[in-house]
Structure 1
Amino acid sequence: MMDTIKSFKGYGKIDEPEEREFRRETRKRLIIIAVSAFILVIIIVAFVVGSTTHKDEKNDSDKSMSIPSTISVGDSIKTVCNVTLYPKSCISSISSLKLEQKTTDPEEIFKLSLQVAFNELSNLSSLPQKLIAKVNNDPALVAALQDCQIQFEEAVDQINSSISSMQVGQREKLLTDSKITNLRTWLSSAITYEQTCLDGLEELNSSSSKAVLEEMKAAMRISMELTSNSLAIVSKMQTLLDKFNTPIHRKLLGLVAVAVVDS
């Protein structure tokens, strides 16, 4: 019986070398698990950081396709005016306006282009009468100049209609497709009225009318350029809004740039 008990107690007993080997194998497994977990954490962190960096780079790339939100007023005017046939007169005329509030909004810059076109054309309204006083002995030329007076008034009305259409309430859109169509019609008409004045003078083809024609052309050059600029800007408005990353949007009262017209 005692032998049986001793034999039972000794059953399964591990000697010291085997126990040391077992412990060594256990430590090795634990080290492998710890190292694997550490590497896994590093891989996850690297993936997250890489994804975030790629997203930021993509956003930066997308932003570079449009005009920066921090663009200056001068650069905004230049960008808008570059779609016109006469960018120099566009930039100089708008930049010379005294503004109560600066703006980088292409829609507001368009309004300023209307204002300078209106100012310049209004300044021409007295020119036909001044020229009539010089050529009152030529009835045909006087009649042509009187017609110019009427054409100028019509042109002023067309630009004034354009300006009025841009005065909107709090819940109205500054520009809509139908309004853009109307603006293009009004501005095209204004240019046509101005050109009709010159055509009438040119048809006379007399020595005195040629001199008046050249004087009238010189006086009207800037006016016709500025009206053409406004027409070009509104015709390219959707392209400009896309470039500035600005939709045709609703305006709030008080955010409109107001031009101070010199008397």
Structure 2
Amino acid sequence: MARAASLLLLSVLYFTTTAMAAAPATEHSGDTTFIKTSCKSTSYPALCVRSLSAYADAIQQNPRQLVLTALSVSLSRAESAKSFVMELKKLKNLKNREIEAIADCLEEMGDTVYGLSKSIKEMKHLGQAKDQEFLWHMSNVETWVSAALTDENTCVDGFASKALNGNIKDSIKSEIINVAKVTSNALALINNFAASQ
């Protein structure tokens, strides 16, 4: 019972911090048409629009800024999910298999945060890069974001066993799948940006 209460408290804390991290302090007043149009090419268009619309003023109609914002949102959610998994690791009465799966997931989420951070830095350095230099930078971004998505999916796969069924598995899968969807959307926007240059 105490474990379930702890898990519920952690879930509420995660959703609160994720919502605060994913949205700016002020309401947006910008036009979201560009965001809605761009999000149509993603796997989760409604989530894409929801996660980026609050940043319409900053994005304007700038495809590079759209990608940077999508990556930043993904990174923020990945960091929150990593913190959530870290807190779960502290719960008492975990099964040995849960402890192992959580530890593996924590490593994967660390790799995700690293890859997304690297991709944001690379996008910021893109600047006025042209031709081969541009392609090289974009290839790096695509590689790191693809790897981050793989890491997120590997975390979820670590809980595939029926022996791990329960609140821990359900909570972690829910958090990481949300991050994976946002990361997938960011990757689609990156690919579109690269193809349009």
Shorter-normalised TM-score: what interval?
A: 0.7 to 0.9
Q: Which has the larger radius of gyration?
A: 1
Q: CA deviation at 1:134?
A: 3.3
Output aligned runs, 1:25-174, within 5 Å: 73-97=31-55, 101-134=58-91, 136-168=93-125, 171-172=128-129
The answer to whether the 8 A contact 1:136-1:142 is kept is no
Q: Which amino acid aligns with 1:75?
A: T
How far, CA to CA, are the matches of 1:169 and 1:225 in structure 2? 25
How far, CA to CA, are the matches of 1:102 and 1:183 in structure 2? 19
How far, CA to CA, are the matches of 1:214 and 1:169 in structure 2? 39
Aligned to 1:226: 182
User: What stretches of structure 2 of length at least 5 have no aligned partner?
Assistant: 1-29
The answer to whether the 8 A contact 2:85-2:102 is kept is yes
Aligned to 2:6: none
How far, CA to CA, are the matches of 2:191 and 2:94 in structure 1? 44
Aligned to 1:55: none
Find the partner of 2:154 among 196, 199, 223: 196
Per-residue displacement from partner, 1:161-185 (whole Å, max 9, x unpaired)?
1100011376545x82222222221
The answer to whether the 8 A contact 1:198-1:216 is kept is yes
The answer to whether the 8 A contact 1:155-1:189 is kept is yes
The answer to whether the 8 A contact 2:145-2:183 is kept is yes
CA RMSD of aligned residues (A): 2.3
Find the partner of 1:183 among 136, 141, 148: 141
- Normalising by structure 2, report the TM-score: 0.75
How far, CA to CA, are the matches of 1:228 and 1:193 in structure 2? 12
- Normalising by structure 1, report the TM-score: 0.57
Q: CA deviation at 1:132?
A: 2.6
Q: CA deviation at 1:109?
A: 0.6
The answer to whether the 8 A contact 1:81-1:87 is kept is yes
Aligned to 2:21: none
How many residues are aligned here?
166
How far, CA to CA, are the matches of 2:92 and 2:160 in structure 1? 16
Q: Which amino acid aligns with 2:170?
A: E
Q: Which amino acid aligns with 1:76?
A: F
The structure richer in helix per residue is 2
